[in-house]
Chain A
């Protein structure tokens, strides 16, 4: 190749190889000196390529190494081809997979059946009359024991309590007048999750809810004013009216939801939930109870002995005395009306053993009556004119029954020493404290009373009829109440001058010696009826402990 001038590409190659003679070399050098760009580019390329060539031939790798390098690709391709094949099971596994699926389906179905059957409720005991109404029906019909109910059924009790059991183990004690609806009785797979929702329209029902089996289990009770969510506990709901519900927790805790308000009630706490007002916590006494020496049986003091409980030949009610421990001090929670906290002295004095009149053949340790007997002293804040019924003493609701012994003439503002059961399932509607004895006392000023303060009982005693002074039993004096009775309560007491009943005056009655150690319930009730549940107005000083309580 020539460039149109005297120096050809061959000459440049010879120049690069230093093979030109002197004449040709001079000619090429002279031409290159002119700066011919084409020749310079050709010469640069020659130097680059020939330099690379003269650097030596590239070494030939071993054939084995080359073959292995080529094999790498085929090995990877084979592996990548096997991957999708491995992802698909062979057809010969299809029957086995089908069998496994069938077994799983059958297992799930069979294990689900019990839970489907369990989504029911049934009556285990009926002492009075129970009526039910199915979904869509308008007429109530009587039901008997072992009758089963399903979701949506309504049930009500009259003339006696009724025990309803749910598939999860929950036990409901419906007091006469109670009515509830089984809104939801739903059980999930294998029974590990379920949802139970009940609506209580009226009356008092004690819920002994079985511990929930997991976080996916729910138990809810709904009243016209509050929704109660529990996780295994024992509590009493009383629907006073459609405008008010009272909840008393006996064990565990519950969560109350009323409107936007949510409260948690702990054990031995109670609250009233109005329909259009904030929830009101009731004063709570939290004494330390003496452990029971015997297992406590399911009581129902108001029920006649059940013929089904012949396995227990003991009397229907037996009262025993246990050594009284030292008084313990419990704290009373303040009332929402800013009432200052009051420290009360609670003496644990006696233990009650009640033979189950209603329940299983084998006495159950889950007592519906708390075995402890609580004694406290406080101000009578209110009581019904007919005496029987709910009293309010020292901020607590105390039920006075025909069996209650009252010594002295009660009056609002007077001080009373109360011995009562802590009832869990009494036939009393919603009161956890059932009075055994109420001693009306007139506190006397103690030696350390403040001289500058006007004793509160001075104002009260002016409102009392004269005989009251003669009825006072010989009880130890209370500490100066001006130290612990709030002023607002004092003013309240003064504002109720005439609400106490006209107290019947009866001749003094001596204490009857008991022939038997354990009075029967009927005897006590008869006595109470005869005496109108009231001790004689001019009773002789009675011992601190009623003979009826000292049974043994």
Chain B
């Protein structure tokens, strides 16, 4: 059986038609060809598939595609504006906050969520480390990721 739905992906309206059981991450990667959103564990643990749903980070491997109906979805491809990286992406680049890069899209999406939740506050290392608990980097490159999030939070809070 198939379902039809209308969603907004990275600012563009998209008509979806998938099997009822299709996952949101499959829809994003296989139907739309947006392969920046990764599938790491497929069991809701690693956070590689994190996207924003109406501005909130969620794990797209644990949502149905049809759950996107009427929602605004932002993927890693939707962050840069007019050829300019989002401050979080820029901070990851500046701080070399990646090794193999597989977890990076999810890390960036979750990290923006951390800064959003603490808008106007000065973030500290402990908070960032704690709130990254839903993202796993198997290169264990957390040190520079935390540095990048702290650095981006200052830029984002100014903007």
Do A and B pair up? The answer is no
